[in-house]
Structure 1
Amino acid sequence: MSMSIADIKIPDSKLAVEAAELLRDQGDELLWNHSNRVFLFAALKGNLQQVKYDSELLYISSLFHDLGLTPAYRSPDKRFEVDGANAARDFLRSRGVPEESIKLVWDAVALHTSTGIVEYKEAEAALMNFGVGYDVVGKNFDLFSEEIRRQVVEAFPRNQFKQNILHAFLEGFKHKPETTYGTINADVCELLLPGYTRPNFCNHVLHSRWEE
């Protein structure tokens, strides 16, 4: 049975339902609610600005964007964004989705924290990045009315999201903090990981093995 929230229809194709079931199985309530809010805010922006996008691919990208934080999909040595992107690629390939669509989803998931770059990618990637920024840090908060925010949060509650999401992030990469170098995730390690010292790019340059 299809469901609409704030006039946005949640995709209910077989592919979308299977992706949702996978997140339900491997994630938790925090990631489930967050991922669905990301999709809704992303789609709302797309509709508001009359951007053409594929709703099914945007939804699947949103469902997979943090899956790399989960025990089943986190790798020992890759950025969690890449783990999620690889999981999405494997999922879509196993279901015969065209490579062009797979590449689009891979980019959307892998680049979703790469602000300053992802905004210039395809609509699905740019919109999902907006949805992430809106839900996590309230970027462009006044773009939507209080009533729209209420409808989204009523359907997918925040439940102390601001406090809990930082610990969820850390849990996904505390075993590989080196993968956060040069990303916003290093902020999470610096705040919550005991003994962590953020690497400094200038030190890497000045203390490289070059003689001059």
Structure 2
Amino acid sequence: MIIAGKTIAGIKIPDSAMAKQATELLREHGSELLYNHTLRVYIFAALNGKHNSIKYNPELLYVSTMFHDLGLTAHYRSYDKRFEVDGANAARDFLRGHGVPPQSLQLVWDAIALHTSPGIAEYKESEVALLNYGAALDVIGRGYDQLSNNVREEIVNQFPRNGLKKNMITTFFDGFKHKPHTTYGSINADICACMIPGYERKDYCDLILHSPWSE
């Protein structure tokens, strides 16, 4: 299915060579669930920008979105970093190959690295805040009522949810079950607690009380 340049719910999918290449990487390394989720996230993010007259760079937002969950995949995931950092690093390397300037590299890196950080991302640059918004809308329904039934149906008909409620937790967990320690301090620790019997999260109070300092 060719999506570059297509307009869905009033949002045009970027069709530059860089955007097309990022889409192909997602197709190659992501699952159908992640592919559809990712395209919905972009449209939700862009719609929020449009409805609220937020200025943003569509191409940088698009590439950020294409890479935002690729850190969960076998090709991009590391053994010692948060999956968000893996995706951010991959996007930065990708954009460097396209001659993108350092400021834009940092913007995309932040957007991906912070997309699961509520309370922080929404106060950053437009692309960072919009990606966080789009991801939260698709996964937990934050802002669901701000879209009409017709708009939601148009987007989901184009990019089906593939049983996301049932399958997304497993998809996330498969991406970092080999490194649960990297979820400390993030919402992903909830997924480890859900999926690993008897899982005990690090407790910040315990870390303070058992630090090597004498007092």
| TM-score relative to the length of structure 1 | 0.98
- Report the CA distance between 1:91 and its aligned residue: 0.4
Residue 100 of structure 1: how far off its partner (Å): 1.5
> Displacement of 1:195 after TM fit?
3.7
Question: In the alignment, which of 43, 46, 50 is matched to residue 49 of structure 2?
Answer: 46
Aligned to 2:173: 170
Q: Partners in 2 of 1:64 and 1:2 — Cα distance?
A: 19
1:180 is the counterpart of 2:183: yes
Give the SS at the match of 1:51. Answer: coil
* Per-residue Cα deviation, 1:83-115 (whole angstroms, up to 9, x for no partner): 000000000101211122111111100110111
Matches within 5 A, 1:100-139: 100-139=103-142
CA distance in 1, matches of 2:10, 2:90: 30
Q: Which of the numbers 158, 162, 169 marks the counterpart of 2:161? A: 158
Q: 1:81 aligns with which of 71, 84, 95?
A: 84
Q: Which runs of 5+ in 1 are unaligned?
A: none
Correspondence 1:11 to 2:5: no
Report the Cα offset of residue 194 of structure 1.
Answer: 3.0
* Cα distance in 2, alignment partners of residues 13 and 3 from structure 1: 12
Runs of 4+ more than 6 Å apart: none
| 1:134 CA displacement | 0.3
Secondary structure of the residue aligned to 2:7 is strand
1:20-65 superposed Cα distances (whole Å, 9 cap, x missing partner): 0011011110110001000000000000001011111111111100
Per the normalisation by structure 2, the TM-score is 0.96
Please name the residue that 1:60 is paired with: 63
Identify unmatched segments of 5+ residues in structure 2: none
Q: Deviations over 1:149-169 (max 9, x none)?
A: 001101110011011111011
Query: 1:205, CA displacement in angstroms?
Result: 1.0
The number of residues matched between the two structures is 212
- Amino acid of the structure 1 residue aligned with 2:121: V
